[in-house]
């Protein structure tokens, strides 16, 4: 296998891991003001993902670094064209991190409600914008012959891309509700389960609509079409498991739907990495946007040495904090 193709696959894996892990962080963050009826319940919700969220973001940092080193032309065009959207995601992530750190500094209800709202917004906006961004990669954006983005921020907004954003948002909300059901007990667990089923229905509806609108894009891409159909099957299985009170299976199947949706995106793109809406011949591909073979060889060696260490460390973290969070775990 050519190294540029290998790194395209590795970047797809990194984004799939990011969306799976950070997806439930985002989902819980948006749901905190709705699931948590008391301050104690909201504190429990924050503790469900508190030990993991910053480690989960390492996947995004790694994906961005891999994109920069392996496909510098893709990185340059993507970050220049999607600059405002990516800037808004960055601001939202900063707001989210500040909310998690500042919330406990004052016990007044108004202070905590403000930061709960900031956490909700800081989780909602990236969930929506990541879907919009990836939908634009499939739809195509104005790129000229010099591999430069020549559009504006508003060129990225269309009914199709907004449907993609809502599809990913509701996937994350379902994922977050099921994560809470696995990590809590009592009334909070029961409430999360009640939210999970309708959120699964909404996720199926928006994802189904997005895939229907994407049929033109996946025409002639049998692997992408098969992956997208698998996503719908997994969502159906997650909904059925949720209704049967099998939260573990529902979470696993819902998480896999996020993973295979990401793989479907990249499969539909390949061998392109960014599609030019002005002229298909001006699209960026894994061949004309990649680094030199020597750079890719060095990156491959480094990845083989360091990625297993990161995986072991993150796996250890999840094992240590695997138990359900209860009121006894809160420190007053």
Query: Which residues are registered as beta bridge partners of 220?
Result: none
Helix, strand, coil percent content, the chain, rounded in steps of 5? 80, 5, 20
Report the percentage of the chain scoring pLDDT > 70.
98
Q: What is the DSSP letter of 324?
A: P
Q: Output phi, psi for 42, to 5 deg.
A: -70, -35
Three-state DSSP class for residue 2: coil
- How far apart (Å, rounded) are the C-alpha atoms in residues 19 and 302? 24
Residue 112 in contact with residue 149, Cβ under 8 Å?
no
Q: Which residues have a Cβ under 8 Å from the Cβ of 157 and sit 6 or more positions away?
A: 132
Alpha-carbon torsion angle 170, 235, 263, 69, nearest 10: 40
Q: Which domain holds residue 197?
A: 3-329
Q: Across the chain, what does the average pLDDT equal? A: 89
- How far are the Cα atoms of 17, 31, 37, 113 from residue 14, in angstroms, in the given order? 5, 25, 35, 34
Question: Given pLDDT bands bounded at 50, 70 and 90, which one contains residue 305?
Answer: confident
Residue 19: its pLDDT value, please? 95
- How far apart (Å, rounded) are the C-alpha atoms in residues 327 and 221? 50
Q: What is the pLDDT of residues 23-69, one digit of tens each?
A: 999 999 999 999 988 888 888 898 888 888 888 888 888 888 889 98
For 182-205, letters b (16+ CB in 10 Å) and e give bbbeeebbebbbebbbebbebbbe
Residue 331: its pLDDT value, please? 53
Q: What is the pLDDT of residues 189-227, one digit of tens each?
A: 899 999 999 999 999 999 999 999 988 888 788 999 999
For 314, other C-beta atoms within 10 Å of its C-beta total: 17
- How far apart (Å, rounded) are the C-alpha atoms in residues 224 and 268? 5
Residue 213 in contact with residue 160, Cβ under 8 Å?
yes
Q: What is the pLDDT of residues 146-162, one digit of tens each?
A: 888 888 888 888 999 99
- How far apart (Å, rounded) are the C-alpha atoms in residues 193 and 196? 5
Residue 265 in contact with residue 217, Cβ under 8 Å?
no
* First-residue to last-residue Cα distance in the chain: 55
Q: Kindly state the tokens that stand for 195.
A: 């939210």
pTM, two decimals, is: 0.93
Residue 150: its pLDDT value, please? 86
Total number of domains constituting the chain: 1
Q: What is the pLDDT of residues 11-26, one digit of tens each?
A: 999 999 999 999 999 9
Q: Kindly state the tokens that stand for 93.
A: 């992530």
């Amino acid at each position: 296998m050519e190294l540029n193709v290998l790194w395209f696959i590795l970047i797809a894996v990194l984004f799939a891991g990011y969306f799976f892990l950070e997806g439930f962080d985002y989902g819980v963050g948006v749901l905190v003001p709705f699931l948590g009826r008391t301050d104690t319940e909201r504190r429990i919700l924050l503790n469900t993902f508190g030990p993991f969220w910053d480690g989960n973001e390492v996947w995004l940092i790694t994906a961005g670094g891999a994109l920069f080193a392996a496909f510098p032309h893709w990185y340059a065009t993507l970050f220049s064209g999607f600059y405002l959207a990516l800037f808004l995601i960055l601001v939202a992530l900063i707001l989210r991190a500040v909310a998690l750190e500042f919330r406990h500094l004052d016990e007044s209800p108004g202070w905590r409600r403000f930061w709960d709202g900031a956490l909700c917004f800081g989780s909602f906006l990236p969930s929506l914008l990541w879907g919009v961004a990836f939908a634009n990669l499939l739809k195509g954006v104005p790129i000229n012959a010099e591999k430069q983005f020549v559009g504006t921020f508003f060129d990225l907004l269309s009914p199709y891309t907004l449907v993609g954003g809502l599809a990913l948002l509701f996937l994350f909300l379902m994922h977050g509700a099921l994560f809470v059901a696995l990590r809590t007990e009592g009334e909070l667990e029961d409430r999360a389960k009640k939210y999970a089923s309708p959120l699964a229905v909404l996720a199926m509806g928006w994802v189904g609509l997005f895939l229907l609108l994407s049929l033109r894009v996946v025409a002639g891409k049998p692997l992408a079409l098969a992956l997208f159909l698998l996503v719908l099957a997994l969502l159906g299985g997650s909904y059925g498991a949720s209704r049967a009170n099998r939260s573990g299976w529902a979470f696993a199947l819902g998480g896999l739907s996020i993973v295979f949706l990401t793989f479907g995106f990249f499969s539909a793109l390949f061998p392109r990495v960014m599609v030019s809406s002005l002229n298909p011949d001006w699209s960026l591909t894994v061949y004309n946007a990649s680094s030199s073979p020597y750079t890719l060889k060095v990156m491959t060696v480094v990845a083989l040495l360091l990625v297993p260490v990161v995986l072991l460390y993150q796996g250890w973290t999840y094992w240590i904090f695997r138990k359900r969070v209860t009121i006894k775990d809160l420190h007053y």
